[in-house]
Structure 1
Amino acid sequence: MANSTALNSDHTSMPAQTPIGWRDSSNHYGRISRALHWLTAALVTLQFTVVLAWRGMGENAITLLLASIGPHGSLGFMLLIVTLARLGWAWINRKQRPPCPPGLGGRIARLVHITFYGLLLWLPALAILRQYGRGGTLRFYGMELLPEAKRDITWMIAPAELLHGPLSWLLCGLVIGHIAMALVHRFWFKDKVLERMMGSRDR
């Protein structure tokens, strides 16, 4: 009887886990924020995988397959839509999201996230503006969104020609740094920053 009581006591002392809700909370991001976050991560990863594969191997069966799975323009358009959705959802949940850590680290994290959002908006926007300025067809997985036209609007083309490449590599560097810091928080600081986006919620 004593052993049974002790086992029951140990069981009840463990923190109960409740499912993550749809909305954000002060401790965790909800299902929608998590889905949008990991969808963004998948799209960015596929985008750079296709680009680096083409640069490294040129045209072959593998790169053609990757390009068919993730056409550069289509992925960019999807990233623009997903980023707009993330911004809208962040605004809706602005009063109940996990706060940034205090101090300099928190200010840097906030600046990095703002830069992320800016790049994820401006990179596809600049590419679409360039495509329109050139009169080229804009397609989304074969569906024509913008028909071909005869035009050459320099002020639309020039910004993308100048900035699209450097800003893309800046985004790549931020992604690598973001992953590295997430691992540092998990294995070095041993805090619960990573669990906000991945872990379950304590009751």
Structure 2
Amino acid sequence: MTNSTVLNSQPTSKSAQTPLGWRDSPHHFGRISRALHWLTAALVLFQFIVVLAWRAMGENTLTIFLSSIGPHGSLGFLILLVTLARLGWALSNRKHRPLPPPGSSGQIARIVHITLYGLLLWLPAFGLLRQYGRGGALQFYGLELLPEAERNITWMMAPAGLLHSPLSWLLLGLIISHIVIALVHRLWFRDPISARLMG
């Protein structure tokens, strides 16, 4: 009887006691933050799958099919929109969100997240600017946002032409590192950091 009482009186974590809501809380990210996070992950993953498939196999039935599902420019524009939504939601929840871990690990995590957000904004934004500068039509899944025109605006095309590819690989490297660190925290250290977003 005593053992049963002791076992049942063990404290549970605050995050386990707090129900998951739509908004963020100091103990975990809410449903909207989680949905936007995983939507971003899915879009970026598919973007890299399409790019890597084209680099590995060239034009064939599979790569044409993948590109029809996720045209590069349309996916980039969608990633830009979702990232802006994430930033807006993060700002509206800034006083309620979980704090980063203390110490140097928290500072590194903060720098990595800021860099990820910067790249998710920069890459599609300057890709669209390059498309506009060279006169190409801007389309979003067949919907024409801007018609094709004769343009050759060097300053619009140059940044993406110079940096789009290397920064894309930097983004991929940061994402892989982000996944590895999250798994280490969850499986090795068994701390609650990853649970704030993953359940």
Determine the C-alpha separation between the residues in 1 that align with 2:108 and 2:6.
44
Determine the C-alpha separation between the residues in 2 that align with 1:140 and 1:12.
56
TM-score (norm 1): 0.90
In the TM superposition, what is the alpha-carbon distance from 1:189 to its structure 2 partner?
1.2
Q: Which runs of 5+ in 1 are unaligned?
A: none
In the TM superposition, what is the alpha-carbon distance from 1:188 to its structure 2 partner?
1.3
Q: Which runs of 5+ in 2 are unaligned?
A: none
Alignment of 1:25-174 (within 5 A): 25-174=25-174
1:26-48 Cα distance to aligned partner (Å, 9 max, x none): 11000000000000000000000
Alignment of 1:170-181 (within 5 A): 170-181=170-181
Determine the C-alpha separation between the residues in 2 that align with 1:61 and 1:11.
60
Matched pairs, number: 194
Taking a change above 3 Å as real, the CA distance of residues 52 and 12 of structure 1, as seen in their structure-2 partners, is same
Query: RMSD of the TM alignment (CA)?
Result: 1.8
The percentage of counterpart residues that share the same residue type is 70
Determine the C-alpha separation between the residues in 2 that align with 1:160 and 1:61.
29
In the TM superposition, what is the alpha-carbon distance from 1:20 to its structure 2 partner?
1.2
Structure number with greater CO (CA < 8 Å, separation at least 6) is: 1
TM-score (norm 2): 0.92
Determine the C-alpha separation between the residues in 2 that align with 1:10 and 1:27.
24
Determine the C-alpha separation between the residues in 1 that align with 2:11 and 2:66.
46
1:133-154 Cα distance to aligned partner (Å, 9 max, x none): 0010111111101110011000
Determine the C-alpha separation between the residues in 2 that align with 1:12 and 1:109.
35
